[in-house]
A and B are shown apart, each in its own frame.
Chain A
Amino acid sequence: MNKLNEYAVIGKKTTKTDAVAKVTGGARFATDIYLPNMLWAKVLRSPVPHARILRIDTEKAKKLDGVKAVLTAADVPEARYGALVLDMGMFARGKVRYIGEAVAAVAAVNEEIALAALKLIEVAYEPLPAVFDPLEAIKPGAPILHEDLKSYKTLFERTDKAMTGNVNYQAEITSGDLEAGFAQSDYIFEDSYEVPKQHPSYMEPNSTVALVDSDGRLVIHNTTQRPHINQAILSSLLGIPIAKIRVVPCHVGGGFGGKNRTLTEPTAAALALKTRQPVRLTFSHEEEFTSATTRHSGVMVMKTGVKKDGTLVASDVKLYYDCGAYAPTPNAVWLGAISSSGAYRIPHCRVEAYSIYTNKMMGGAFRGYGAPQSNFARESQMDRIARELKIDPIELRLKNCLVEGDSLHTGQKLHSVKVKETLLKARELSGWGKGRVPANRTLGVACGIFACGGFATSGIVRLNMDGTATVATGAMDMGQGLRTVMGQIAAEELGMAAEDVTVIIGDTDSTPFDVGIFGDRGTHTAGMAVQMAAQDARKQLVEQAAFAFKTTPNNIVLGGGKARLASDPDKVLDYKDLLGGGQYKKGGPIIGKASINLTETAFDPAIVRGAASRMFSTYTFATHIVEIEVDPKTGVVRVPKTYAVHDCGTVVNPDGLRGQIIGGLATGLGYALYEGVAFENGQVQNPSFLECRPPTAVDMPEIVFDTVEEFDEKGPFGAKGVGNVSVINMAPAIANAVETATGVRVTSLPITPGKIVQGLGQLAKEEA
């Protein structure tokens, strides 16, 4: 049940705590840091997609005036890192595997000298055959990127196909009896879909300033979604104890998953350790588009068996995700496999999901995390089924959608499932089937599921002498508003005003561990730890008050920054009087803490093989209906309006929720219509915002927002996430609307005007 009315802070309009600092330019980002004696680092990158490194000569560069250090693989420990597959070192060692891979780095007194020094480094390459297409890369005889793959350390249970050839991570999900399922089906649909790489397009490039402080500790100022994991990776790469490393993130100029990475930190740190001077390494925007990480490109093959009445019976899915030359987070492939059955009950399922090496830039984490690809396939095919069976697309979805108590194809039993309600509400809002839409507009629908929350986190809540509270969380705010939400959660629990709570995030010295912000775990999981820590502090505060009032704790009521007696509400003490002057009447200073892991149950190995995680805390759902205009002559598609209905549990911060949804839809819109990293022989052809084309404000639709009432018992005050699921429906919804409007089914992204016009047969043969 939703208890919004009972809350004083939760669900109330709250201005982001960092809004003023950001709007006035006061907020400090990593690139704002200039330190005395600071050196500038630059990275030499591979100009070839695949080659053996025969020789690297850094002597000339080292002799250039102003150069303080030059490093290559030979100068750093031979350690590798990665989330599931430990395949990447700080620098290419022995081989380069993509254009843009780091080969050497220079630290110099200024940027110009650092760049000049790069030109003096001589590298001799012996070219090797390269492979750029994931389906080519898994064929026998394809060039192999990682010859010693089998010997690499991994952090998942390997299937037979994992870590062989060019396949690194692999997962298989088998539920029910696939053969029997297809035998029972009246119709079988088999389709193949293709998607390009998409860049996260955060405005602020990756950046680190590293230094060794006067106590000999390594200090990192950076822009990141995962300070504590940065700390652990730096420790393993550099051989320094974790306690000797401090990561102090700055404000983050957008992350969207792309900063759930450790890219600039190790290089800057190694150079700072070598020179004992502060070192700054900031990527150029070109480096962002060639040497950071993107959403995985891939091919999805989907075979689905259906009864005449539209009941989904069987589904066989193969996901071939192209992770590029290294696999920093093949977890995206795992999440793609989870979302590949859509928000539907399908009794007989098989999913085979592959993460495949090619000689291209890396695939990593990006909002939607594996699901935009598989959901594009699932939701496109759902509309095809609806069309063939002459069933209304929303009816078909309603007939098959998951409900409370159903299990996913992974065997995980679900709670908090309101996808049906999102479909119904979106249908109502959009006037679907009611003929309310203007004649030149067409509706398209898609719904989706995304795993929400999990993994380890912790929180600390300290009550201060003046009656205020300081919350510490290792989770990061990358602009999504986590600081504000954490403050709201603690304030609600402690009976304080939101302004009286200050939230410290990220700094690994003052905050406890969090695994990083991804997978809708900010509000839901880190928020849960903060709520529990606040409950712990509250309990101690109640005891303090009971002692002061000489009564029992159950006679104490907290609220509005005051403690009162339940039996005599006129007896009141301000928190500051209870905590005042550090003169604690009973016990010591109040510190609440909590330490949790919301992914503790393993998947059933009879159903899931190669799981990249244990079972997720919960799942979030959403339905999006787009209203599009297609010009039948030019193929140009505009999306003037979108209805977004989310099942996100309790809404903690309504403006924050809207912000998240707007951002998610923008990413989804770009994926659907404009974006895509283009390659020629492994080289990125369009390494800029201008040519990669994330949507602008002008391209954005008017958005009608809504949520369905829901309370998820696993989240703080019933909250779930919204960051990922808001991305995954736009592309299929638009593709579906395009087919309704024009009769053309586009099965590859982006849905360009050229593809539509070609489908309409408007392009003369010789020109096409």
Chain B
Amino acid sequence: MIPLPKFRYVEPTTLAEAAAILAAEGEDCQILGGGTDLVPSMRQGIFAPKTVLSLQAIDGLGRLEWSESDGLSIGAGVTLRRLETDATLRKLFPMLAQAVSEVASPSIRHMATLGGNLCLDTRCYYYNQSEDWKACSDLCLKVGGEFCKASPGGKAKKCFAVFSADVVPALIALKAQVTLVAKEGERTLDLAAFYSGDGARPNALKPGEILTGVVVPADRVGIKGSYLKYRIRQTIDYPIAGVALALRFGASGVVSEARLVLGGVASKPVLVKGIAELLEGQTLDRARIERAAQLARKAAIPQANTAGQRAHRKQMIHEFTTRAFEDLAREAR
């Protein structure tokens, strides 16, 4: 076992206190949720924060509340295990429960938090390695090298590390809003806008900011959703292609709202463009579903930085999109 580097551990009890510590320490301080990603990464030397700030003692980050006016509010500290077993959530947003239950394995979900999943770092064969491993050849872009080694030809000046959090595509499909708190105040944005698409800096979190939670708007109730995940083994593995589809059906099977989000095939969750235009006001038929699947396939840009052939992962997006539509169309009937 590689020992953890030394660090100071702090456990503030209020958000204000946490924000103050973060403001003072800047990038030397890193937030700890369940630690299921941060701790292994620290062992590999990917992060070496001077201070590790745990959120677990902060009141309010463990909230999981439903109200018909404000929707479903989930604190960053809620564990994935609690989310997947919560009766209200399962009833109102089964796709979300489904996506959560696909993360890692039961033991990891007992530790893992929603905040950690939303802020999960992007992954890559060249990045998620020890320092010794990386020292064997040129460094990749994400750790200070010149090129993205996983990009086609290995010559891109942009990092293509892959976005691999399962819960996010489902939340974006449900139009979730995310709240970020810093010493200076708080801001709320669409979860979709939180992700940058740059593998090196995958999200909009600024130094000093804490993600405090998400809200799924109340009007999302009644949406039908499906999350399909492709991974090599039937548990533990990260997604190497994932599809979250949210549809609302109006009278006589007409689609009134449609959102399709892909995971595991780009440096951010991909909100597939053109889906609403293609389907809203239409009924689902074979041709339209095929058209949507083609749009999804085109939007996926998997790289050789995780398991699976790139071409096959694109094909999985096509196939899973088709299946997600067919499943929901069947449900709607």
**B-contacting residues of A (Cβ < 8 Å)?**
45, 47-48, 99, 111-112, 115, 205, 282, 284-286, 290, 633-636, 638, 674, 681, 683, 685-687, 690-691, 693, 695-696, 698-699, 752-754, 757-758, 762-764, 767-768
- A282 / chain B contacts, CB cutoff of 8 Å: 1
Q: Which residue of B lies closest to A635 (CB)?
A: B312
Q: Which listed residue (B135, B137, B319) contacts A634, Cβ 8 A?
A: B319
- Closest chain A CB from B124 CB (angstroms): 11
Bound complex: CA A754 to CA B311 (Å) = 8
- A284 / chain B contacts, CB cutoff of 8 Å: 1-2
Bound complex: CA A284 to CA B40 (Å) = 13
Q: Which listed residue (A633, A690, A699, A758) contacts B319, Cβ 8 A?
A: A633
Bound complex: CA A52 to CA B13 (Å) = 57
Bound complex: CA A681 to CA B312 (Å) = 24
Contact B1 A634 (CB under 8 A): no
Bound complex: CA A439 to CA B83 (Å) = 37
- B314 / chain A contacts, CB cutoff of 8 Å: 767
Bound complex: CA A763 to CA B1 (Å) = 41
Q: Which residue of B lies closest to A205 (CB)?
A: B1
Contact B315 A285 (CB under 8 A): no
Q: Which residue of B lies closest to A766 (CB)?
A: B311
- A99 / chain B contacts, CB cutoff of 8 Å: 136
Is B310 engaged at the interface, CB distance under 8 Å to the other chain?
Answer: yes
Q: Which listed residue (B130, B233, B309) contacts A695, Cβ 8 A?
A: B233
- Closest chain B CB from A681 CB (angstroms): 7
Classify the interface of chain B: helix, strand, loop or mixed: loop
- A205 / chain B contacts, CB cutoff of 8 Å: 1
The B127-158 residues at the A interface (CB cut-off 8 A) are 129-130, 132-133, 135-137
Q: Which residue of A lies closest to B104 (CB)?
A: A690
Contact A757 B312 (CB under 8 A): yes
22 contacts between A and B (CB under 8 A): A47-B132, A205-B1, A635-B312, A638-B234, A674-B232, A674-B233, A683-B136, A690-B237, A691-B307, A696-B234, A699-B233, A752-B312, A753-B316, A754-B311, A754-B312, A757-B315, A758-B309, A758-B312, A763-B312, A764-B315, A767-B311, A767-B315
- B136 / chain A contacts, CB cutoff of 8 Å: 47-48, 99, 683
- A752 / chain B contacts, CB cutoff of 8 Å: 308-309, 312
Contact A687 B133 (CB under 8 A): yes
Contact A768 B311 (CB under 8 A): yes
- A45 / chain B contacts, CB cutoff of 8 Å: 132
- Closest chain A CB from B164 CB (angstroms): 12
- Closest chain A CB from B94 CB (angstroms): 21
- B105 / chain A contacts, CB cutoff of 8 Å: 696
- B188 / chain A contacts, CB cutoff of 8 Å: none
Contact A111 B3 (CB under 8 A): yes
Asked, given contacts A112-B3, A284-B1, whether A696 binds B233 with beta carbons under 8 Å apart, the answer is yes
The B1-54 residues at the A interface (CB cut-off 8 A) are 1-3, 6
Q: Which listed residue (A636, A638, A691, A763) contacts B311, Cβ 8 A?
A: A763
Q: How large is the interface on B (under 10, 10 to 19, 20 to 34, 35 or more residues)?
A: 20 to 34
Contact B310 A767 (CB under 8 A): yes
Contact A693 B233 (CB under 8 A): yes
- A698 / chain B contacts, CB cutoff of 8 Å: 233-235
Bound complex: CA A685 to CA B237 (Å) = 16
- A683 / chain B contacts, CB cutoff of 8 Å: 133, 136-137
Q: Which listed residue (B6, B236, B315) contacts A762, Cβ 8 A?
A: B315
- A754 / chain B contacts, CB cutoff of 8 Å: 308-309, 311-312
- Closest chain B CB from A742 CB (angstroms): 15
Bound complex: CA A758 to CA B311 (Å) = 9
Contact A699 B3 (CB under 8 A): no
- A290 / chain B contacts, CB cutoff of 8 Å: 133
Bound complex: CA A99 to CA B133 (Å) = 9
The B73-88 residues at the A interface (CB cut-off 8 A) are none
Q: Which residue of B lies closest to A290 (CB)?
A: B133
- Closest chain A CB from B32 CB (angstroms): 20
- B233 / chain A contacts, CB cutoff of 8 Å: 674, 693, 695-696, 698-699
The B291-333 residues at the A interface (CB cut-off 8 A) are 307-312, 314-316, 319
Contact A696 B308 (CB under 8 A): no
Contact B236 A634 (CB under 8 A): no
- B129 / chain A contacts, CB cutoff of 8 Å: 687
- Closest chain A CB from B121 CB (angstroms): 15
Q: Which listed residue (A111, A634, A768) contacts B316, Cβ 8 A?
A: A634
Known: A48-B136, A99-B136, A691-B307. 20 other contacts (CB 8 A): A45-B132, A47-B135, A111-B3, A112-B3, A205-B1, A286-B130, A286-B133, A634-B319, A674-B233, A690-B237, A693-B232, A693-B237, A696-B236, A699-B234, A699-B235, A758-B309, A762-B315, A763-B315, A767-B310, A768-B311
Bound complex: CA A573 to CA B233 (Å) = 60
Bound complex: CA A638 to CA B232 (Å) = 11
Contact A286 B312 (CB under 8 A): no
Is B163 engaged at the interface, CB distance under 8 Å to the other chain?
Answer: no
Is B230 engaged at the interface, CB distance under 8 Å to the other chain?
Answer: yes
Contact A685 B308 (CB under 8 A): no
- Closest chain A CB from B207 CB (angstroms): 28
Bound complex: CA A638 to CA B231 (Å) = 13
Q: Which residue of A lies closest to B312 (CB)?
A: A754
- A758 / chain B contacts, CB cutoff of 8 Å: 309, 311-312
- Closest chain A CB from B204 CB (angstroms): 28
Contact B232 A115 (CB under 8 A): no
- B308 / chain A contacts, CB cutoff of 8 Å: 752-754
Bound complex: CA A674 to CA B237 (Å) = 11
Bound complex: CA A674 to CA B231 (Å) = 11
Bound complex: CA A227 to CA B294 (Å) = 60
Q: Which residue of B lies closest to A767 (CB)?
A: B311
- A687 / chain B contacts, CB cutoff of 8 Å: 129, 133
